[in-house]
Amino acid sequence: MPLSRSLSMTSLSGVLPAWEEDELPVEDLLLFEVAWEVTNKVGGIYTVIQTKAKITVDEWGENYYMMGPYFEHNFKTQVEGCEPPNPAIRKAMDALNNNGCQVHFGRWLIEGSPFVILFDIGSAAWNLDRWKGDLWETCKIGLPYHDREANDSLILGSLIAWFFKELTDQLGDKPNVIGHFHEWQAGPGIILSRSRKIPMATIFTTHATLLGRYLCAGNADFYNNLDKFNIDKEAGERQIYHRYCLERAAVHCAHVFTTVSQITAVEASHMLHRKPDVVTPNGLNVKKFSAMHEFQNLHSTSKARIQEFVRGHFYGHLDFNLEKTLFFFIAGRYEFSNKGADIFIESLSRLNYLLRVHRKDITVVVFFIMPAKTNNFNVESLKGQAVRKQLWDTAHTVKEKFGKKLYDALLKGLIPDMISILDQDDFTIMKRAIYATQRHSLPPVTTHNMLDDSTDPILSNIRRIGLFNSRNDRVKIIFHPEFLSSTSPLLPMDYEDFVRGCNLGVFPSYYEPWGYTPGECTVMGIPSVTTNLSGFGCFMEEHVSDPAAYGVYIVDRRSRSPEESCNQLTQFMFTFCQQSLRQRVIQRNRTERLSDLLDWKYLGRVCFCCTTPSIDSIQFILYSPISQITNYPQRALQSASDTSREEAELIRCNGEM
């Protein structure tokens, strides 16, 4: 049964061909995916289009193209320039180039190697005033001169609409062009294409409504007042009314409107006044291992690297057992309340109390990976890693001498004592190394020098709860205000390796239209905490009967007060800390099994349905309910106590937490 669709400017009758088979005739279609983040990493949409590229290329082949802005550095480092295989696309590009607007073509060097068409905004900026006039005449939306992002989006949209006009003119009577536009920055492209009656099918996807993000960042009681907001007034007070108008106009101009989760669909219905035609959940490229223990071994390897960093960071205060230390983390865009950092910090204070009273043998090291304004690495943090390396080198030097003397003694049939193996110089070297680890200050909470130290929300709340990495604290905090990189002199790990080495990801978001961070944890077999206000959390509640048994803990932030949600989060983390090594290994196996739910191989079928022409009488776009497409059952999952023979064998082989 097709979903009901809301009205848009025109129908698709005559735009796309009808056919009798269920298969999509991609050989007769050209699919263009438009986003500001094509080859341009800004946020989560980059992950969406990058991970979806391979399965889309497999389905569409050389009939699939991505479109976005041109940035010279990104093009030189991520794109292999080449000529378009389609002569109509070549001629459309030439038309723009001959009029002084530069267009670049190539293959994006990611999995799938999709074609990309990139438009140089700077080369076309001289048309801005004229295109602002066109936008005003078309839909009475004016853009202020000082909003560069909005002006750039108009230039990009105008170039894209121009390109589609030239392309459809070249293709003639049967253009069969589909344009899939992401987020408000791509909005002008769809608005201008529809107003100029370019014969093409259009899809618009919002990953989060613009006004919704602003309202939640301002601590509004968003979900309980969705139907009460004066939308125009709220957008105007935040000086984003013109952006909101672009977003809303794009939504209503699209033939098909989609969003990434059910909770965002409800939000869009109120904020943008159109109900999404279909929900297209975000997926990931899941790499399955041939043997179950392989991802567990990766966890052990990455965890050992994190332990080395912790040894250096806490030098002089390393009085806790690293084998009984758990690593938690939160990561993402620095939106303090939207990402749930406020409730997380408060729950850490309560967890610290519970561990000090009930489990003094367990230590939790918590990483905050959120980019903030800094000017350099913290001297104490760098010194800690230098001290650790010096101790390591000293231990290896003494070990080599110790080993040689021990070997000689054993050859002679003697059991040597310490005095005969280690001379006075060795003792002196070791004592100097020990004295070098003495520290008169507490280990730093942050790894960098913060520009706004006194007003930073995370640091201010850490001061409020008093978690300063003292010896008595069972919860230690490390704030790393920079994205992780394998080239860092401090914590040389890529994000993926870091996630694999942690024990639990905590993402108690208040506003999270989808939520890639817990999804990434799931496909790597790492348990995570999410909420029922995130698209990911709602998705798991819908498709898994007992998410907690499979390592996905869902905090109720919809029907509970902040205090109750904080207590629930604290209880989730405390329960996790009480698990044995055996239970954690079993849970990681269970978590990794959920990865198929998030694989683009399955979720991609939902996206393809948006580009499938209709075979019913009105010849609209065909889109089926998600349950019919993905067929995810409400599975009767095993209880946490059930253990397979494979898991039991793995536990005997695996000695790491």
Split at pLDDT 50, 70, 90, the class of 612 is very low
- At residue 404, the pLDDT reads 84
What is the rounded average pLDDT for all residues in the chain? 86
Of the ranges 176-185, 265-274, 429-438, 631-640, which one carries the lowest mean pLDDT score?
631-640
**Percentage of the chain exceeding pLDDT 90:** 68
Least Cα distance to 569 among 552, 556, 585, 582 occurs for 556
Split at pLDDT 50, 70, 90, the class of 630 is very low
- At residue 601, the pLDDT reads 80
As a whole number of angstroms, the distance between CA 419 and CA 409 comes to: 13
What is the 8-class DSSP label of residue 453? T
As a whole number of angstroms, the distance between CA 11 and CA 349 comes to: 56
Q: Which two tokens stand for residue 122?
A: 């700077």
- At residue 14, the pLDDT reads 42
DSSP labels, 365-411: EEEEE----EEEE-HHHHHHHHHHHHHHHHHHHHHHHHHHHHHHHHH
The residue assigned the tokens 């348990």 is 527
- At residue 655, the pLDDT reads 43
- At residue 634, the pLDDT reads 33
Q: Which two tokens stand for residue 179?
A: 């344009």
- At residue 290, the pLDDT reads 52
- At residue 321, the pLDDT reads 94
Reply yes or no on whether the pLDDT at 2 is more than 50: no
Of the ranges 16-30, 56-70, 298-312, which one carries the lowest mean pLDDT score?
16-30
Reply yes or no on whether the pLDDT at 653 is more than 60: no
What is the 8-class DSSP label of residue 444? P
Kindly report, residue by residue over 75-105, the tens digit of the pLDDT: 999 999 999 999 999 999 999 999 999 999 9
Reply yes or no on whether the pLDDT at 132 is more than 70: yes
Kindly report, residue by residue over 438-483, the tens digit of the pLDDT: 888 999 999 999 999 999 999 999 999 999 999 999 999 999 999 8
As a whole number of angstroms, the distance between CA 181 and CA 381 comes to: 44
- At residue 175, the pLDDT reads 66
- At residue 641, the pLDDT reads 39
Of the ranges 580-594, 597-611, 621-635, which one carries the lowest mean pLDDT score?
621-635
Reply yes or no on whether the pLDDT at 11 is more than 80: no
Reply yes or no on whether the pLDDT at 4 is more than 50: no
Are 429 and 397 in contact by the 8 Å Cβ rule? The answer is yes
Q: How far is CA 530 from the centre of its chain?
A: 13
Kindly report, residue by residue over 390-442, the tens digit of the pLDDT: 888 888 888 888 888 888 888 888 888 777 777 788 788 888 888 877 888 99
Dihedral over Cα of 291, 293, 299, 305: its sign: negative
Are 280 and 265 in contact by the 8 Å Cβ rule? The answer is no
Reply yes or no on whether the pLDDT at 609 is more than 60: no
Q: How far is CA 436 from the centre of its chain?
A: 40
The residue assigned the tokens 């003397």 is 405
- At residue 553, the pLDDT reads 97
Helices (DSSP H) in 196-230: which residue ranges? 210-217
Strand-strand pairing, 325-331 and 448-450: unpaired
E strand map for 21-109: 30-34, 64-69, 79-81, 103-108
Q: How many residues appear in the chain? A: 657
- At residue 409, the pLDDT reads 83
- At residue 651, the pLDDT reads 42
Element (H, E) at 607: helix 600-609
Split at pLDDT 50, 70, 90, the class of 288 is low
Q: How many CA atoms lie within 13 A of 579 on its CB side?
A: 23
